[in-house]
Amino acid sequence: MTAIPLQLPRRLVEFTLDGRQVRVPEGATVLDACRAEGTEIPTLCHGDTLTPKNACRVCVVEVEGARTLAPACSRRVDPGMEVRTGGARVRHSRKLVLELLASSTDLSTTPHVAGWIREYGARPDRFGPDAATRAGQEPKVDNELYVRDYGKCIMCYKCVDACGDQWQNTFAIAVAGRGFDNTVSVEHDAPLTDSACVYCGNCIEVCPTGALSFKSEFDMRAAGTWDESAQTRTTTICAYCGVGCNLTLHVQGDEIVKVGSPHDNPVTHGNLCVKGRFGFQHVQNRE
């Protein structure tokens, strides 16, 4: 059973979505409205537990009267506004965003993106073989728990926000550099083990591309043994302390290969600490 937090009833606002009159609670974003209406909008940098940075721009929609397109994930619905989600301008920008991202980043472990690339007719290879890319850089493996593969990073800022003031308040990582050369980094690009990182893994929980992953997943992928179809997911309760966080154990064969946490948990919102996230080895230690 999911707990429903109590809140004051919200006023409804009415607006036009793709020609239909739609009513949504005041304060809802265009994306909320689209999801409630069953209109599909691709998203990458939007996270259900974070305030979106609207950096990826793949969710753009057309708002009548606006000079530029608006990000559905963070534009709030105004009464009477007219939104179109599927016009030529919208499709063009989404296609280009997908092309620009796929030509500069390794999206091989990003869910849904292959389908969107087909749907929007994106051709990432048309920028030529010499197009600058961040893909292919050496993954940063500097600790036993998780791996940072920034060749797969789309700079969605979600890990930074989860590490910083939106959840963890550890501030171990930040965006450094500028422009195409920007990157998520600890101070002076030091190894994680020399940083403020507390290994809560909440950055992995929100990473939309697999740039951040459990070392166990990274190693299994490298060995070719990672098989999501053979995995079960079991939600249980962390046994370490009295808070009672929910854990979702991803099990392949007889091994826990990854630990997540349900985002709709009203207490933890998908966040864990190092013990819940990574302290599972004792379960499968057979010696």
What is the four-CA torsion angle of 266, 28, 113, 211, rounded to 10 degrees? -50
In terms of CB distance, is 45 or 206 closer to another protein? 45
Quickly count: other Cβ atoms within 10 Å of residue 198's Cβ.
Answer: 13
In terms of CB distance, is 20 or 178 closer to another protein? 178
Q: How far is the CB of 113 from another protein (least distance, A)?
A: 13
Residue type, 175: V
Give every CB contact of residue 127 below 8 A, 6+ residues apart in sequence: 99, 103
In terms of CB distance, is 86 or 177 closer to another protein? 177
Q: How far is the CB of 14 from another protein (least distance, A)?
A: 19
Quickly count: other Cβ atoms within 10 Å of residue 245's Cβ.
Answer: 20
Q: How far is the CB of 198 from another protein (least distance, A)?
A: 9
Cβ–Cβ < 8 Å for 18, 128: no
- Lookup: tokens for 240: 């370490």
In terms of CB distance, is 53 or 258 closer to another protein? 53
Q: How far is the CB of 41 from another protein (least distance, A)?
A: 14
CA distances from 215 to 48, 220, 284 (A): 25, 8, 16
- Lookup: tokens for 40: 């599909």
**Contact footprint for another protein (CB under 8 A):** 53-58, 60, 68-69, 71, 74, 76, 89, 92-93, 96-97, 100-101, 103-104, 126-128, 130-132, 154-155, 157, 164, 169, 171-182, 185-188, 190, 194-196
CA distances from 58 to 31, 44, 97, 156 (A): 12, 7, 6, 11
Pairing of strands 82-84, 146-148: unpaired
In terms of CB distance, is 26 or 228 closer to another protein? 26
Q: How far is the CB of 262 from another protein (least distance, A)?
A: 28
Cβ–Cβ < 8 Å for 210, 110: yes
Q: How far is the CB of 199 from another protein (least distance, A)?
A: 13
In terms of CB distance, is 19 or 129 closer to another protein? 129
